[in-house]
Amino acid sequence: MLGPGLYNYWMVIVLMMMGLYVLMAKGNMVKKVIGLNIFQVSVIMFYVTMAKVRGGTAPILVPGDAGEVLYSNPVPHVLMLTAIVVGIANTALALSLVVRIHEEFGSIEEDEVQKMEDHV
Amino acid sequence: MLNLVDVLLFFFLAVTALGLVRLRDLFAATMLLSLFSLLSAGLFIVMDAVDVAITEAAVGAGISTMLLLATLAITKRREKAPRREVELVPLMVVLVVGGALVWGTLEMPEYGDPDAPSQTSPMTRHFLEKSRDEVGAPNIVTSILASYRGYDTFGEATVIFTAAVGALMLLGGRRPKDARLTGSVLQPHNRQSLAGAGADEMQPKELHLNRILEVATKSLVPFIMMFGLYVQFHGDYGPGGGFQAGVIFATGVALYALVFGLTPAQRVLPPRLLEALLALGVFLFGAIGLWTMVLGGNFLEYGVLSDGPLHGQHLGILLVELAVGITVAAVMLALFFLFAGRGFCGPQRKR
Amino acid sequence: MLSVSILAILICMGLLILRAITGKTVFHRILVINSFGTKTVLLIALLGFLSGRPDFLDLALVYALMNFVGTIAVLRFSGYGDLASLDQNDASAEEDFEWV
Amino acid sequence: MGVTTLVLDVVGGLLLAAGSFVLLAAAVAIWRLPTFYTRIHAISVNDTLGPGLILLGLACRATHSWEILVKLGLILAFLLITGPVSSHALAKAAYRSGLEPRSYRRAKGGPPSTP
């Protein structure tokens, strides 16, 4: 049967570029955090795609397996698992910066904050 | 069939991401982000990454959404209208970078290729073939996470600890003096004391949000906690472990706080206690490592913890996962309390 | 039969995503996303059976849990009910608020 | 033994088909029905029935393992509790924030109600 081939990688790149676009083009800081999240998911997706083996199964040993079961690669899973948790911690840090900026300037738009900064 | 699911889910993911880029209502965008996260977790399952899926579901759809919503509740709901519909320079950059990346993928092995370098690498083979005899946990992901790469996981625990400390320092201190304050969504009494007259009439509505919701929450929370413990201690055998269990546990408490208000939840888990637990988890992790050194092994070499190496590994993984679980639960809850308890704070400077 | 069910759920998901993006009010979106979460739970259960390893149903339970908590969080933080004071500050909040 | 398996297979397949149909009906309803309350009415009912049918259908395939049966039961119980509760909370929030239930005719051409 015809597999997806490189389709997964291309979709990963599409997602990544959408995240990058949000990061560059949007001035709203919460939106930027959302863009960063999209970007992060795409990277995770990239690693997990590399880990998949055709016909394989999740890397949890099947009871009574004597070497005939094909497992997907567990190493990228480990890396991404911790990456997700670290990602949320960083998101929280970014969001707390946003909250502080809003308390200080009353705005979370990049250009408005920049303008106020120039006035002072 | 699985390939079809893979293709369709990826397509949905792209459509959702496009919606995320276009939407200017940040609230709607946040909800769409939780949908995005659910979809991606579905994809992880198709690609056999069950542990990643369970983490993404708990973190992306749960905690991350809650933090974003809490941030929006205390800042602004809408994005400013852009000057142009499409910014040309970023678009060009994105197209060029994307094109270069696509060109780069042409050399990649196909999806699911069993002969790809990452599958045939000696490390991968070693983990897949030897972990049963060396570590003994059926879940290879847990074996690698807690045992083979234990030092790395220690680093991750430290990173989230540091991030939480950073957030606590940014938001935990006193507010600016002349700021206009309104109470947090989850703390009605706060509103009364800060907003002054007219706040009293809001009280009853706030406190009794919804009787049905209260009863359902009250009966569900214990089971959620139980389930968190199951995920924590079943991590050797199935998908799960400290990271996931910590988030699930935190979600249980967060659900309670959402329905009953912050104060009752904080009576059970005061912020001070959370701060202590935050440090305790990381400390426990490091202490286990040092203890194995005292016993004559390397840092985090669990084999020396008990009589047989397998038994020692089992004990070590259990303890380390517990340490991670404590850290993650404390971090997530501390962050949730921080954001949810903040309350709206208006601009300090005049425009 | 499993494949047919999975296909049906995927079609549902497609319809719901479009609705979530084009939905007019917050409540429509919450409704759609809540429903979407249920679909995901079922998709995961079905995929577990399809790939022959149904012991991963814990995952579906986590999804169901997160879906519920997410819905409650959205309702609580959405500022409907009594966060009126907050929305005054942000006058443009009502801009694209067409009922139904 | 063979007959039991066959019956379970057939019943399970029928349950899965019925569940899929119910879910599809809900997804179509959210496009076809005019107002919020009509939609929530369709969605919340179908999102309780559909998963019930599908999970029962899956249970028919997992009679060999009580562990899986228990997990399916737990998921079903959880969905049966949380589905209606969140629908109720949502409808109540919508109503309290001023979204009025209206008839179909007014929804099509009537003036927009103000919250």
What is residue B312's predicted lDDT score, i.e. its pLDDT? 86
CA end-to-end span of chain D: 63
CA distance B184 to B192: 10
Question: Which residues of chain D have a CB within 8 Å of the CB of C66?
Answer: none
Q: What is the mean pLDDT of residues B84-107?
A: 87
Q: Which of residues 9-28 of C touch B (CB under 8 A)?
A: 10, 13-14, 17-18, 20-21, 23, 26
Q: What percent of chain A lies above the pLDDT cut of 90?
A: 33
Task: Give the pLDDT band of residue B192 (cuts 50, 70, 90).
Answer: very low
pLDDT in tens, B251-261: 999 998 888 87
Q: Which residue has the higher pLDDT, B343 or A4?
A: A4
Contact, C73 vs B251, CB < 8 A? no
Residues of A with a Cβ under 8 Å from any C Cβ are 57-58, 62
Give the Å distances, CA to CA, from B20 to B27, B327, C57.
11, 32, 30
Beta strands in D23-110 (DSSP E): none
CA distance C93 to D12: 49
* DSSP bridge pairs for B345: B181
* DSSP bridge pairs for A53: B112
Give the Å distances, CA to CA, from D14 to A21, B181, B265, D74.
47, 58, 46, 22
> CB D85: neighbour CB atoms within 10 A?
20
For chains C and D, what is the number of CB pairs under 8 angstroms? 142
Give the Å distances, CA to CA, from B113 to A1, A52, A54, B117, D95.
14, 8, 6, 9, 54
CA distance B345 to B74: 7
Instruction: Determine if the pTM surpasses 0.90.
Output: no
pLDDT in tens, B64-90: 988 998 888 877 777 777 777 777 888
Averaged pLDDT score across all residues of chain A = 86
DSSP state of A7: H
CA distance D35 to D108: 9
Averaged pLDDT score across all residues of chain B = 81
Place of tokens 């939609």: D39
Task: Name residues of chain C where pLDDT drops below 50.
Answer: 80-100
Q: What percent of chain C lies above the pLDDT cut of 70?
A: 77
Task: Name residues of chain D where pLDDT drops below 50.
Answer: 113-115
Q: Which of residues 78-107 of A touch B (CB under 8 A)?
A: 78, 80-82, 84-93, 95-100, 102-107
CA distance C6 to B1: 9
Task: Give the pLDDT band of residue B145 (cuts 50, 70, 90).
Answer: confident
Q: What percent of chain B lies above the pLDDT cut of 90?
A: 24
Q: What is the mean pLDDT of residues B305-317?
A: 84
Closest-approach residue (CA) in chain C for A57: C51
* DSSP bridge pairs for B139: A60
* DSSP bridge pairs for A28: A109
Q: What is the mean pLDDT of residues B142-161?
A: 89
Interface ipTM? 0.87
* DSSP bridge pairs for C75: none
Q: What is the 3-state secondary structure (H, E, C) of B297-350?
A: CCCCCHHHHCCCHHHHHHHHHHHHHHHHHHHHHHHHHHHHHHHHCCCCECCCCC
Instruction: Compute the nearest-CA separation of B120 from chain D (Å).
Output: 34
> CB B167: neighbour CB atoms within 10 A?
26
CA distance B269 to B326: 13
pLDDT in tens, D83-92: 888 888 888 8
